[in-house]
Structure 1
Amino acid sequence: MTGPILVPNLAVLREEFNARWPRRDKRSDGWIGDQAHATRPSGHNPDESGKPERTDADKVDEVRAIDLDADVDPAPADELFAELDRIRRTPALRKRLIYIIYRRKIASASNGWEWKPYSGDSPHTEHGHLSGHPDYDNDRTPWGVATKGDVMDTKQEAKLDKALDKLDKLEKVTWATTNRAAGLLSGATTVTYRVPGENSDRTEPNKVAAQLAALADRPAVEIDYDRLADAIVRRVLAGEAPS
């Protein structure tokens, strides 16, 4: 028997969430249970080596539950709830689950898939919980969160994350450079700015302001325009081009 695996039914759902929201927060994601889960029946426990909610006839050590972080998008709308509710209202999708828990509510096959108050130990405000039905362990049918063409494999997702991280760092560096330049042109005697990755501000003398002040202190140059005009006329009459 190999180590525990997440059933394909729920692995496909997680991949679609990752494809639709590549930058979503995953800190509250989960699938295999911790020691607290291991002491009681839970969909997060492997069905061969742990205390599962449901079992099947095969000898594969399967986990039939996932948690999806609530923070999938910075928009004000609760995108996670919208997706969970769409699954709840779609018979072809909800039949692949036993229940859904999110924000102190539970919807399950046993209660007619209506949202009911949930009073378990965790209110599930930081993530949504989905418990899979063993009859659909190997169902790889798309859930509709993202089309098949949009779903990225692990390598593609890693490349995208790396590129977006670089873009984020470039944006921070650009901001710091712009902030420093604005300070140099402000006329202040010192400039304060922060370099991305550092925990404190940098302060430096404003050399630009000092140079501008030195120029301003120089006496103005007076030009005798009459003498300049006479000199130009003489050079023109002598056949020289004025320089």
Structure 2
Amino acid sequence: MAKRPAARITKSLDALRSQVNTLAPKRSKASDGWLGDAKHSMRKSDHNPEPDGTVDALDITHDPKNGVDIQKVCDAIIASKDRRVSYLICNGKIIAGNGGPRPWVKRNYTGANKHTKHLHVSVLDKFQDDTTPWKIEAAFGKAAPVPAKPATKKAPSVVAAEKLSAQLAAGATPIAQPAEAPAVDKETIERVQQQLKDLGYTEVGGVDGKIGTMTATAIRAFRAENGLPEGDGIDDALLLALQKAKPRVLAPARSEAPPEIVREKVPEVRTNWLTKVGAFFTGIFALIGSFFDGILGNLDEASGVMQPVKDAAGDVPGWMWMLAIAVVAGGLFLIARHGEAKGVEAFKTGARR
């Protein structure tokens, strides 16, 4: 026959007992108990060992003179709604835990022992070895310990900023790095945009946390003017250089250059815009010509429906055709001039080098 395991109190109740002893070191233990006697063995009781030897009940002595008021301890456990509790018995009342009837409500206890000399605590089998601290400090007039908060992981941008600040304090200088940098968070981009604006790089546009065309242009200009590798990426070298940089001052030869000088410096301004405008209108005219010659031409051959259109076009005076051509040519000229003006402005502000 297999030997029955030795009786032991569950770890959860042992933890409760240890806490009470710590909070009231001089308390009486006259009515303490966990292992049932012969009378308990004659009836069903949590004080009796289970087949595995565990005992799921603990009695704690009432000794208010030395700090243990069992009613206060009982009320503290009820307030915590501890998941381990099967039931409590104290001063003629029984209180069921989460799985019992009317959970956490005091009901009259009909047993012979009204438990006025000790508090009875029974725990559920599935939580019997849960050693989480019991929330009973309030019963002893003490505040519950505040659990230590896990260390908050700093955002990469914060870590980078602290690292760069330390380097700056030590007199470090930017180290040339490839301009292609890993993705950075919105907060870092906004900080870079604001720093560029403060330094006079107005081409950066708004502070929106996005690396668009304008922000990329400003970063490239800053890199070129501060000896950093080409590119529009945000890296440690750029962040450190921004902290050390002084407000931008463009040379008079650049910021005050007359249009003719600018055109010599950036001749592609006019060419690029005229090319774009010409290509656009050429495409439009080609599309219209294809439409009339293709689809409408086929309709005309089939039914003659386009003949009225042709007749109407033939009735238009020549001067009206000349006016239409002049209007289109004037529009092209104004668009090209606008593009050239934007290019001149970009050159003077440093957006275009």
Q: Provide the C-alpha distance between the structure 2 equivalents of 1:125 and 1:3, rounded to a whole number of angstroms.
A: 30
Given that 1:20 and 1:145 are in contact with CA atoms closer than 8 Å, whether structure 2 keeps it comes out as no
Of structures 1 and 2, the one scoring higher in RCO (CA 8 A, sep 6+) is 1
Q: Provide the C-alpha distance between the structure 2 equivalents of 1:74 and 1:143, rounded to a whole number of angstroms.
A: 20
Deviations 1:9-42 (A, max 9, x none): 1000000000000110100000000000001110
Deviations 1:24-79 (A, max 9, x none): 0100000000000001110000001xxxxxxxxxxx3100000000115347xx73
Superposition pairs for residues 190-201 of structure 1, below 5 Å?
Answer: none
Q: Provide the C-alpha distance between the structure 2 equivalents of 1:138 and 1:2, rounded to a whole number of angstroms.
A: 17
- 2:31 alignment partner in structure 1: 28
Deviations 1:101-159 (A, max 9, x none): 011111113222111111202111110101111010110100033578xxxxxxxxxxx
Q: Provide the C-alpha distance between the structure 2 equivalents of 1:26 and 1:145, rounded to a whole number of angstroms.
A: 18
| Higher alpha-carbon Rg | 2
Superposition pairs for residues 7-86 of structure 1, below 5 Å?
Answer: 7-48=10-51, 60-74=52-66, 79-86=69-76
- 1:97 alignment partner in structure 2: 85
Given that 1:30 and 1:67 are in contact with CA atoms closer than 8 Å, whether structure 2 keeps it comes out as yes
- Is residue 114 of structure 2 the alignment partner of residue 123 of structure 1? yes
Given that 2:80 and 2:135 are in contact with CA atoms closer than 8 Å, whether structure 1 keeps it comes out as no
What 5-or-longer segments of structure 1 have no aligned partner? Answer: 49-59, 149-243
- 2:152 alignment partner in structure 1: none
| Structure with a larger share of its residues in strand | 1
Residue of 125, 128, 134 corresponding to 2:125: 134
Question: Aligned-residue CA RMSD in angstroms?
Answer: 1.8
- 1:163 alignment partner in structure 2: none
What 5-or-longer segments of structure 2 have no aligned partner? Answer: 138-143, 146-353
Q: Secondary structure at the match of 1:129?
A: strand
Q: Provide the C-alpha distance between the structure 2 equivalents of 1:65 and 1:122, rounded to a whole number of angstroms.
A: 15
Superposition pairs for residues 70-219 of structure 1, below 5 Å?
Answer: 70-74=62-66, 79-91=69-81, 93=82, 95-108=83-96, 109-145=100-136
Q: Tell me the number of residue pairs that the alignment of Structure 1 and Structure 2 aligns.
A: 133
Q: Provide the C-alpha distance between the structure 2 equivalents of 1:8 and 1:99, rounded to a whole number of angstroms.
A: 17
Given that 1:25 and 1:72 are in contact with CA atoms closer than 8 Å, whether structure 2 keeps it comes out as no
Q: Provide the C-alpha distance between the structure 2 equivalents of 1:15 and 1:102, rounded to a whole number of angstroms.
A: 20
| Structure with a larger share of its residues in helix | 2
Instruction: Quote the sequence identity (%).
Output: 32
